[in-house]
Chains A and B, each alone.
Chain A
Amino acid sequence: MLRISNLHKSFGDIRAVDGLSLEINRGEVFGLLGPNGAGKTTTVNIAVGLLTPDSGNVEIAGYGSPADRSVRRIIGVAPQALSLYDELTAEENVAFFGRIAGMPGVRLREQVKSTLEFVDLYDRRKEAVSTYSGGMKRRLNLAVAMVHDPELLFLDEPTVGVDPQSRNAIFEKVLALRERGRTIVYTTHYMEEAQRLCDRVGIIDHGRLLALDTVEGLLKTYGGQRVLVAERLQGEVRVPTDDPLRELNRLQAESQLLSFRLETPDLESVFLKLTGRLLRD
């Protein structure tokens, strides 16, 4: 669906994207995971035609470059910063962005209704956005991105600054969109979001793609072994193992266990392994 080839982009001396290449398949949720400043938003901005790369190219399969305006009709973008007209109502915001995406009248009305229903804002569609909570604005930001029913949807850090309840609501919407067959590029610096939502994840740092695979594949390749942590009278013991049950029996045979837990590798540990830093650093 989306092919990015050897992309380079610098802002002065800062190299924001450095030879990034990746392919995103139709119908998948692709996670672009990396810390703040890793180059995720720059990559998205180039991929949607907002920025021109210094070199490299972006192609949307069957359509062409997103720099072409007609190609942008099949793209939806929910920018990281909320991009809404506070003085307008939710309905007016969604309708406006649908109209400038070229949707005709009757279809636009139907789409505005279904989109607002999808993000659970239909009942409050007549209220000015300025009266909305942060979570509602995030959902509306998503609605505006998808009102024209795009095939490819970019969600740039869509859960920044929202409460856990709203975050879960957004997760549900993303999964529902995947069910509808939409291709989603999801940038985040929260590894649990990538782990929960994404079919495949690209880990990016300093503008370079460090690894790309399914979550399971990344964990297998870079996550290392699971760790059995046991607490005994003599103190805590950490045992890396592929067979935690056998190790647990062995430890119990040696001495009485007060408690134990199993630490499984996650994308945080993958990132640590790849960069020597934590994601939140």
Chain B
Amino acid sequence: MREVIAIAVKDLRLMLRDKAGFFFIFFFPLLIAIFFGTLFVNEGSTANRLKVFVIDEDQTSASQAFVDRLKAAPELEVHPASRQEAVDRVRRGGGTAYIAVLAGFAEGNIFGDNPPAVELGVDPTRRAEEGLLEGVLMKYASERLSELFTDPAKATASLEQWRQEVLKQPELSAAERQKVAGFLEDLSNVISRMPPAEDDGQPQGRFEPLRIEKADVQVHWEGPPSSYAVTFPQGVMWGILGCAAAFGISLVIERTRGTLVRLRMAPLGRGHILAGKALACFITMVTLSVTLLVFARLVFGVRPGSLSKLAFALGAVAVCFVGIMMLLSVLGRTEQAAGGIGWAVVVVMAMLGGGMLPLFFMPKWLQAISHFSPVKWGILAMEGAMWRGFSYTEMLLPCAILLAIGTVCFAVGERAFKWLE
């Protein structure tokens, strides 16, 4: 063990003396994590909301109440704007649509030819969201109407306004006017005798065009607490990939500079040499991961869901990529070849595993291939421990896959190293 530790310490010293290598292993992933975390900061809460610009051209309490209702809507990210500004922003792709609450909105008669109206202008490239927006608008208009009828004071005022309008309709006969006006008066009398509805925040049952029964679904995934909780595990993964690539060429460097001959002439077995290198790589990977995650905790407040699960995940990831490093180290006979092969393998693994592009952006067949990338399982294991709330049983699958990949790669690398001697 003394010899293994000596080789590991020597390799760590060599890594620390290589300033460029040190930068790319430790600081580059940190910068990546901070950069992308900052880019997407606060996006987590609004990423799935439709960004709309709202213009209130009616400027009445009713229109203002409707705008407020839209602002409070979880489906929408509302930005008040002037008509000109709203049209321009949507035209330039700055939002999904604009909604103009037209003048006369408050006087709109839901039973006549002049209902309350809004103008909806949708970005032509986002037509798919138009239907969704119309549905959302109808929903909140219905809620407004529901409130109108469930608040006796508002309802009687509206009925009186409509009764007066009916009495003025020239196209109706006098008998018809009296009949409708009488109905509205009777309705008003009935409503005025009703107790006011308790405001429980829900639409009241007395005006309900469609009852939607809602079933509670247990929420397994509450989402990352911040963008840094997503980018730091990815930064850790990039650092680990950098370690694998950097240590992957260290055996070739030993060979080309002649020190491997000296190591083999020493009273050491092949296993000592490989174990020493693996230990150095493992220590670097773990140190890097812990450094990045502590930084994320101290600076950005990213708190892991479970420290023990995170340690389990990091251990499995490190074992996996130490094995991959060992395999990479025997693939090339020159530093250039080993370096090129190492980075090519690492980049392809990162691309397929969601290290560069989120998996859900990929076509289905590519998502299926991603199962073969240890990067996917590494990120999943870390996220599982960080914020996905995985149980130990759920952690087992990604971690077992990582450990299996690491073991197989190490064994193949060790075997190949024997053949290269």
A→B interface (CB under 8 Å): 48-50, 69-70, 72-73, 75, 77, 79, 81-88, 92, 96-97, 99-102, 128, 144
Answer whether residue B171 sits at the interface, using C-beta atoms and an 8 A cutoff.
no
A83's contact among B7, B10, B14, B258, by CB below 8 Å, is which? B258
A84 and B259 in contact, given A100-B7, A102-B267 (Cβ under 8 angstroms): yes
Which A-chain residue is minimally distant from B7 (CB atoms)? Answer: A100
Q: Are B13 and A77 in contact (CB under 8 A)?
A: no
Query: How near does chain B come to A212, taking the closest CB pair, in angstroms?
Result: 25
Neighbouring B residues of A70 by C-beta, 8 Å = 267
Q: Which residues of B contact A102 (CB under 8 A)?
A: 2-3, 267
Knowing A96-B6, A100-B268, A102-B3, say if A83 contacts B13 (CB, 8 Å). Answer: no
B199 in the interface (beta carbon within 8 A): no
In Å, the complex CA distance between A92 and B6 comes to 11
Instruction: For chain B, residues 1 to 23, give those with C-beta under 8 angstroms from any C-beta of chain A.
Output: 2-3, 6-7, 10, 13-14, 17-18
Name B's A-contacting residues (CB within 8 A). Answer: 2-3, 6-7, 10, 13-14, 17-18, 257-259, 261-269, 272
Contacts of A100 in B (CB 8 A): 3, 6-7, 263, 266-268, 272
Complex Cα spacing A144 to B261, Å: 13
B contact residues around A77 at 8 Å (CB): 262, 265
| A92/B13 contact (C-beta < 8 A), A69-B268, A70-B267 known | yes
Complex interface: chain A residues within 8 A of B268 (CB): 69, 100
Closest 7 pairs (CB-CB, A-B): A83-B258, A87-B17, A99-B6, A83-B262, A72-B267, A81-B258, A69-B267
A96→B10 CA distance, assembly (Å): 7
- With A87-B17, A96-B10 known as contacts, the answer to whether A101 contacts B257 (CB < 8 A) is no
Set of chain B residues within 8 Å of A101, measured between Cβ atoms: 266-267
> Inside 8 A of A86's CB, which chain B residues have their CB?
257
- Chain B nearest CB from A25 CB (Å) reads 23
- Where chain A touches its partner, the secondary structure class is loop
Q: What distance in Å separates the Cβ of B165 from its nearest Cβ neighbour in chain A? A: 91
User: Complex: how many Å from CA A49 to CA B266?
Assistant: 10
A85 CB contact (under 8 Å) in B10, B261, B265, B266: B10
Q: Which residue of A lies closest to B4 (CB)?
A: A100
Report the separation of the CA atoms of residues A77 and B264 in the bound assembly, to the nearest whole angstrom.
Answer: 11
Q: Which residue of A lies closest to B253 (CB)?
A: A85
The answer to whether A85 and B14 have CB atoms under 8 Å apart is: yes
Complex Cα gap A48–B6 (Å)? 22
Query: Closest residue of chain A to B264, judged by CB?
Result: A50
Question: What would be 10 A-B contacts, judged by CB atoms less than 8 Å apart?
Answer: A70-B267, A84-B259, A85-B10, A85-B257, A87-B14, A87-B18, A88-B14, A96-B10, A97-B262, A100-B268
Chain B residues, Cβ within 8 Å of A85: 10, 14, 257, 259
Q: B1 → chain A, closest Cβ, in Å? A: 12
- Chain A residues with Cβ below 8 Å from B259 are 83-85
Cα distance, A144 to B18, chains bound together (Å): 23
Check if A79 sits within 8 Å of B258, measured CB to CB: yes
Assess whether B265 is in contact with A48, with CB atoms less than 8 Å apart.
yes
Contact status B265-A50, CB under 8 Å = yes
A69 touches B269 (CB 8 A): yes
Q: What's the Cα separation between A19 and B257 when bound, in Å?
A: 31
Q: How far is the CB of B12 from chain A (nearest CB, A)?
A: 11
Q: Which residues of A contact B264 (CB under 8 A)?
A: 50
B3 / chain A contacts, CB cutoff of 8 Å: 99-100, 102
A219 to B17, CA, bound (A): 53
What would 8 more interface pairs be, CB under 8 Å, given A85-B10, A88-B14? A69-B269, A72-B266, A77-B262, A79-B262, A84-B259, A87-B14, A87-B18, A102-B2
Return chain B residues, CB-CB under 8 Å to A96.
Answer: 6, 10
Q: How far is the CA of A82 from the CA of B261 in the complex (A)?
A: 10
**Alpha-carbon distance between A81 and B260 when the two chains are bound, in angstroms:** 12
Whole-angstrom distance between the Cβ of B403 and the nearest chain A Cβ: 29
**Is the CB–CB distance between A49 and B265 below 8 Å?**
yes
Contact between B10 and A88 (Cβ–Cβ < 8 Å)? yes
How far is B6's CA from A88's CA once the two chains are assembled, in angstroms?
Answer: 14
Cβ contacts under 8 Å, A92 to chain B: 10, 13
Cα of A50 to Cα of B264 in the assembled complex, Å: 7
> How far, in whole Å, are A46 and B30 apart by their CA atoms in the complex?
49
Task: Check if B265 sits within 8 Å of A99, measured CB to CB.
Answer: no
Interchain CA distance A97-B331 in the complex, whole Å: 27
**Bound complex: CA A77 to CA B13 (Å):** 24
Nearest residue, chain A, Cβ from B269: A69
Measured CB to CB, the closest approach of chain B to A88, in angstroms, equals 6
The complex places the Cα of A191 from the Cα of B257 at a distance, in Å, of 28
Q: How far is the CA of A99 from the CA of B6 in the complex (A)?
A: 7
Q: Measured between C-beta atoms, what is the minimum distance from A92 to chain B in Å?
A: 7
CA distance A88 to B9 in the complex (A): 12
Chain A: minimal CB distance from B418 (Å): 13
Q: Which residues of B contact A79 (CB under 8 A)?
A: 258, 261-262, 265
| Cross-chain contact A144 with B265 (CB below 8 angstroms) | no
